[in-house]
Structure 1
Amino acid sequence: MKKYMELLILTVMLIFSTSSAFSMTLKIATLAPAGTSWMNEMKKGANEITKRTDGRVKLKFYPGGVMGNDKSVHRKIRIGQLHGGAFTSGGLSHAYPDIQALSLPMLFRSFDEVDYVRSKIDPLLKQNIEDNGFVLLGISEGGFARILSQARLTDLESIRKSKVWIPEGDQLVQSTFNTLGISPVSLPVSDVFTGLQTGLIETVTVNPTAAIAFQWHSNMSYMTETPVIYIIGTLAIKKKVFDKLSNGDQAIVRDEIDRVFKRMDIINRSDNQKAASALQNQGIEFVKPTENELTRWRQLSDQAVKTMIASGSFSQTMYEVVNRHLTDFRNR
């Protein structure tokens, strides 16, 4: 009887220790407001993960920037208050500079180019970032960012006279604007609306969906037709945390988030097209620089990237890989 009780106690202890070892709630911050397509899809994915892992893995989201800007989120990840976040490429560039490969200025001219290059580059980015301490569970399209402004801006001279916003800590955008001769105002995303209201800034580079979601369009009159930067959204988890999950649960999380991000690629492209139409219907005039001006922008943007490469902020190897795939597509 004594041996039976000892065996029973040992069995119970093993059951509890095993279940607790693999049970985790991943706490994830995002700037995306509650109720947006991104949040709705992520919640669906989170529910599927919980269901498929029998409750061992849960995802808890903190939307709307309640955890602060990217800098604050990364600090909270370091101390364990958070386990990951949804970031643009700029938000992850300090950990892995080449994550900006898809968001180089004036890189893409069409969605066909985007789709081809991403099919080659996405797997490479996911693989390489793990050597830098993060697991990149998904990359989704944020869309083409365009210049949204209070004044009509179709050349560099007029842009240089405007108060232009750039995201706080985004070295790629900072370098690009410096090369273009633009003196930008650096602010966290959470402060942009107030900055527009007070006149601290007059011009932003943003995709149509975000312009409406954050209400940045309310005092604006013009948006460029020409895409300036292709924005990506990512979901990154600290690798040390993710590695605590069992191999089976890791596979489930990767699979479900991958499904979500594939859906988001489709949804975001459609949402941006609808948002662009909505902006036009609300009186925003879409303007286009001349071909000569666009050539000038592209040349200076390429100089900015080369400056980043020279400073070690972006790798020559990744630059060559991206351009090789882009050239291959354009020569087809």
Structure 2
Amino acid sequence: MIRRLLLSILLLAFTPALLAQTQTLRLATLAPDGSPWMRELRAAAEQVKAETGGRVEIRYFPGGVMGNDQAVLRRIRQGGQLQGGVLTSSELSLVYPDAPVYTLPFMFANWAEIDRVRPKVDPLLASGFAERGFHMLGASGVGFAYLMSAKPMAGVEDVRRAKLWVPQNDAIAEMTFREGGASPIPLPIGDVFTSLQTGMVDMVANTPAGTVALQWHGRLKSLYDLPLVYVVGFIVVDQRAWARIAPADQAIVDRIFKAASARVDQTIRRDDVAALEAMKKQGLTVVTPTPTDAEYFREVGRRVLARLEAEQGISPAILKAIRDAKAAGAAPAGGQP
């Protein structure tokens, strides 16, 4: 009993000193240096260091140097090399099944819907990550993903015949394309560039800016002008590492990263437009789907969502929040949106 009391006293005595030490958060990401994400992330790290007086430092390992999603998550769990990551929802679905909620197929038609939904749903996702041992520093939209092909593309039959890449561990993407009659090829995102070169895959889904940043654009000849999914990247930190940061410094880090995420949300919209224009100048053909094909794909999306709901693959509360937020901006009968 006396030994436990002495140990408690020692821990209390040393806790302030430990919290005063520099806490380093090492974050891995597939985002390449020079991308909008990395520019903002590096600026945020400098601001954190300045405002905390050097008590918190953030270091990045960009470009996939720490391996694929499974390798990054394993290193985070081990608590040594990495304390967090900047990861997409397909990667984080391994620890949080609701993470891919924004990538439900054809869930969102435009930016206005995104702007109504995210203020309601982002906090729910942050709570979900916390329950699974992660603190969500921020979430940023990467843009709308479109189908792009290394071959001429006209419609549904071309998708069915394609060697179509889907992100490894992205169960929703794989389910969607199988429902649509395609045979998807799951691969880590880091393997896609080489797979396009060798012909292992000849169709991908990505945002225009993401396609250029990952240097896939040189292999792609056509884009199917129908928004497939809305892609979001999350900045998450292991709760154990987060707890070692003093509460006052936590508030500083949170504020800075949320502001950085908001800036990425805005710049990516401009970057996507610029990237698409650049790809068109290099010969990319933009294909407008026929009304019949567009409805076919949207019906696939409805069937996938119905299946996920029946299997509770996505939390009912989060789906309700999305629907409520979308409905709040819908035009009344005979009115304007």
TM-score by length of 2: 0.90
Which range is displaced more, 58-67 or 237-246?
Answer: 237-246
Match of 1:52 in 2: 51
Give the AA of the match of 2:217: H
The Cα offsets for residues 47-99 of structure 1, whole Å up to 9 and x where unpaired, read as: 11111111111001000000011111001111112111011111111222222
Match of 2:71 in 1: 72
Match of 1:28 in 2: 27
1:245, CA displacement in angstroms? Answer: 1.1
Contact 2:90 2:168 in 1 (8 A): no
Give the AA of the match of 2:174: Q
Contact 1:176 1:305 in 2 (8 A): no
Q: Which whole-Å CA distance do the structure 1 matches of 2:272 and 2:45 have between them?
A: 24
Match of 1:210 in 2: 210
1:154, CA displacement in angstroms? Answer: 3.7
Contact 2:146 2:207 in 1 (8 A): yes
Match of 1:94 in 2: 94
Give the AA of the match of 1:21: L
Match of 2:283 in 1: 283
1:17, CA displacement in angstroms? Answer: 6.4
Match of 1:123 in 2: 123
Contact 1:93 1:100 in 2 (8 A): yes
Match of 1:112 in 2: 112
Match of 1:63 in 2: 62
For 2:18, what is the secondary structure of its paired residue? helix
Give the AA of the match of 2:19: A
The Cα offsets for residues 263-304 of structure 1, whole Å up to 9 and x where unpaired, read as: 111111111110011111111010111122212211111211
Which range is displaced more, 301-310 or 257-266?
Answer: 301-310
**Which 5+ residue runs of structure 2 have no aligned equivalent?**
1-12, 332-336
Match of 2:184 in 1: 184
Q: Which whole-Å CA distance do the structure 2 matches of 1:317 and 1:45 have between them?
A: 32
1:260, CA displacement in angstroms? Answer: 0.6
1:316 aligns with 2:322: no
The Cα offsets for residues 155-200 of structure 1, whole Å up to 9 and x where unpaired, read as: 2222010100001111111111121121111111111011001110
1:254, CA displacement in angstroms? Answer: 0.2
Match of 1:159 in 2: 159
Give the AA of the match of 2:321: V
Match of 2:227 in 1: 227
Q: Which whole-Å CA distance do the structure 2 matches of 1:221 and 1:148 have between them?
A: 7
TM-score by length of 1: 0.92
Contact 1:139 1:234 in 2 (8 A): yes
Q: Which whole-Å CA distance do the structure 1 matches of 2:59 and 2:76 have between them?
A: 14
Q: Which whole-Å CA distance do the structure 2 matches of 1:48 and 1:309 have between them?
A: 42
The Cα offsets for residues 133-159 of structure 1, whole Å up to 9 and x where unpaired, read as: 111111111001001102233422220
Which residue of 15, 18, 21 maps to 2:16?
A: 18
When the two structures are aligned, how many residues end up with a matched partner? 318
Q: Which whole-Å CA distance do the structure 1 matches of 2:134 and 2:59 have between them?
A: 18
Which range is displaced more, 135-144 or 240-249?
Answer: 240-249
Match of 1:4 in 2: none
Q: Which whole-Å CA distance do the structure 2 matches of 1:224 and 1:79 have between them?
A: 42
Match of 2:8 in 1: none
Q: Which whole-Å CA distance do the structure 2 matches of 1:180 and 1:270 have between them?
A: 31
Q: Which whole-Å CA distance do the structure 2 matches of 1:154 and 1:93 have between them?
A: 32
Q: Cα 1:224–1:25, aligned 2, differ >3 Å: closer, same or farther?
A: same
Which range is displaced more, 119-128 or 297-306?
Answer: 119-128
Match of 1:6 in 2: none
Match of 1:261 in 2: 261
Match of 2:172 in 1: 172
Q: Which whole-Å CA distance do the structure 1 matches of 2:316 and 2:15 have between them?
A: 48
Q: Which whole-Å CA distance do the structure 2 matches of 1:19 and 1:203 have between them?
A: 54
Q: Which whole-Å CA distance do the structure 2 matches of 1:130 and 1:76 have between them?
A: 18
Match of 1:141 in 2: 141
For 1:228, what is the secondary structure of its paired residue? strand
Q: Which whole-Å CA distance do the structure 1 matches of 2:327 and 2:293 have between them?
A: 22
Q: Which whole-Å CA distance do the structure 1 matches of 2:266 and 2:326 have between them?
A: 22
Give the AA of the match of 2:134: F
**Which 5+ residue runs of structure 1 have no aligned equivalent?**
1-13
Contact 2:141 2:232 in 1 (8 A): yes
Q: Which whole-Å CA distance do the structure 1 matches of 2:197 and 2:129 have between them?
A: 38
Q: Which whole-Å CA distance do the structure 1 matches of 2:110 and 2:59 have between them?
A: 35
Give the AA of the match of 1:57: V
Segments ≥4 residues shifted beyond 4 Å: none
Q: CA RMSD in A?
A: 1.5
Q: Which whole-Å CA distance do the structure 1 matches of 2:290 and 2:178 have between them?
A: 22
Q: Cα 1:55–1:279, aligned 2, differ >3 Å: closer, same or farther?
A: same
1:106, CA displacement in angstroms? Answer: 0.7
Which range is displaced more, 153-162 or 255-264?
Answer: 153-162
